[in-house]
A and B are shown apart, each in its own frame.
Chain A
Amino acid sequence: MGFILKFLTNSAYAFNGHLPIQATEVAKSWDDLWWFLVWLSVFFFILCVGGMIYFALKYKGKPGVKPTYITGNVPIEIVWTAVPFVLLMAIFVWGWVVYVDMTRPPTDAYEIRVVGKQWLWQFQYDDGRTTVNELYVPVNKPVKLTMTSTDVLHSFFVPNFRVKSDVVPGMFTNVWFEATVPGKHQVFCTEYCGTSHSLMLAKVIALNPQDWEAWKAGKKIPDQPNADPVQDQQIAKDVKPATSVVSTR
């Protein structure tokens, strides 16, 4: 029994379905839409499944219970067609508005070229300098990434910024963000690209102004902390040191 109890308590802890930290302004408006959809779904879930369970128990087929002959009710059917339709159109509009903010880069964004190739990310800055798997960006300044691939499909995904776009060979795609939280943000490749698809990880390192100038000038900068301190504590507790070999802390 001890194992099950320990398992449930740990699971309860893991259940704090926290989203990645909000490392850009857009992420905040994104989260509002997200939680609206979550609670709307919980409401409809309780309405439907709760109704189902209530009807099942209330109208249990005990002997002597007579089912009533009903074949439909047009007004109700009109309501449960129109109301979802209106709700869905509202959700679409809200989704579109946030989408436009997320994907249309401001004109003054600082442009960095990204080349995705099998199993690493290469970043080229405007002064010709290239780094691999580490993208240095200034904090509180919009940055636009123009991306392409030299072999297969990849996808550049930064959960903390809520941005994602496939990286397609033969085509430029772009994402933009304005980091507000300094430190290291995890980057994933989210379009299947072969053997080491799950190891094609990189870091967006958001630097505050003086570190950024120092880095641009080529000087050494101190090692940056992980942008999401909560994650570090959770990992330290969850995972025994040697079990998870792959850790890019």
Chain B
Amino acid sequence: MAHDHKHDDKKHGHHHYVLPNSLAFKVFGALIFLTIITVWTAHFDFGAFNFPLAMFIATIKALLVCMIFMNLKNDVKENSVIFFTSFLFLAIFIVLTGSDIFFRGDVYVKGPLVAGASKSKFKKPWVSTAELVAHGKELFGQQCTSCHGAEGLGNGPAAAALVPPPRNFAQNAGWKNGYKPSQIFKTLKEGIKGSSMASFATLPAEDRWALAHYVVSINPAHAKDTTSDLAAVGVDPSKDGMGGESSSPTIPVSVAMAKLAVADINVAVASSVAKNPDAPVGSGAAYYQSKCVGCHGVSGEGALVRNMGVSPKAYLKTGSLSGVPFDRFKSVVTKGLPGDVMPGYGNLSNAQLQDLYNYVKSAR
């Protein structure tokens, strides 16, 4: 910061610099001329040179405005130093941020996070075959029964807690995206916004086709796919292939936009966990607190959940679970719910499972 000493030197006295109109017009003319130049040069493609040229012209115009209109030329040098240091710090900001962002190498996630690249067993998975339907039935058993029920009638154990309720595959009414296999395939890939139908994008494409065919088989009245339907999901029926894997290079925007619906479960409302301090160590309480509290919340109210297609449901709180039999509870806890985020805890003995079951029932 150059310093201007005491200002008793009346160098510029009372007659401060007054900008003559003639000079003002000359500068204005130059500015207009340079604007025309910059618009004109933008039409030619000089490749990498275009950007520096545009910036150079803009800088000349900016300097004209600063030096003449803002009178930096015959102002005390201190003000110019002050003003131009700001651009120095802006440059530091750009250069050092750039040193990170432009030197990371290719680390960005391209496609959606698909499960392990297992090889495809089916040539044309979009064409329904008995083997595909059987594979679909087996996957349905793991992935979908908790909401859609064993027979796909939308009466699964968790169905009561869900608004809107899960689809009943036996009826024709109420299908949001349509009930052709390709349409079911799209629903499986992106889920349904505003409902808790999760996106199963982490399942390979052929599994999703298998599920679609099984769901269609529940109510054979459904119409078949036409080539245009298949094209809508990026499938060319003439050639073999994975069945529409060429998804867009990043997480589809429509899925991303679904992500903002956040269930805010008010902790105060949830009944407090039966805090019996003298519960023996290793009982249901201790196991619950260590393994389950992460998703299901300290007092079973379901932690602050995010609805990015995968939302740990606060099953513990739903009325319909009061009647759930012990073996259904045991199967969910030991095998988990693949596709959903509920992992299986295989290494639990029957006694521990009983403890946990009692503890969870007491928690409500």
Contacts and interface: CB of A to CB of B under 8 A. Distances in A.
Direct contact of A and B (CB under 8 A): yes
Interface of A: 115, 117-120, 124-133, 148, 150-151, 170-173, 194-196, 199-200, 223, 241-242, 245-248
A223 B346 CA distance: 13
A175 to B, nearest CB: 13
A67 B278 CA distance: 69
B325 interface: no
A146 B67 CA distance: 54
Contacts of B285: 245
Contact of A120 (B109, B278, B295): B295
Contacts, number: 70
Contacts of B90: none
Interface residues of B, number: 29
Nearest to A125: B116
B74 interface: no
Contacts of B304: 194-195
A171 B107 contact: yes
Question: Lowest 3 A-B CB distances belong to which pairs?
Answer: A128-B116, A132-B343, A119-B294
A126 B118 CA distance: 10
A148 B109 CA distance: 8
Contacts of B108: 170-172
A124 B115 contact: yes
Interface of B: 104, 107-109, 113, 115-118, 250, 277-278, 281, 285-286, 289-290, 293-295, 297, 303-304, 306, 308, 310, 341, 343, 347
A124 to B, nearest CB: 6
Contact of A196 (B115, B118, B250, B293): B293
Nearest to B279: A242
A117 B289 contact: no
Nearest to B259: A151
29 contacts: A115-B113, A117-B310, A118-B306, A119-B294, A119-B303, A120-B341, A120-B343, A124-B116, A125-B116, A127-B116, A128-B116, A130-B115, A148-B109, A148-B113, A170-B108, A171-B108, A171-B109, A172-B109, A195-B303, A196-B294, A196-B303, A223-B347, A242-B278, A245-B286, A245-B289, A246-B290, A247-B286, A247-B290, A248-B290
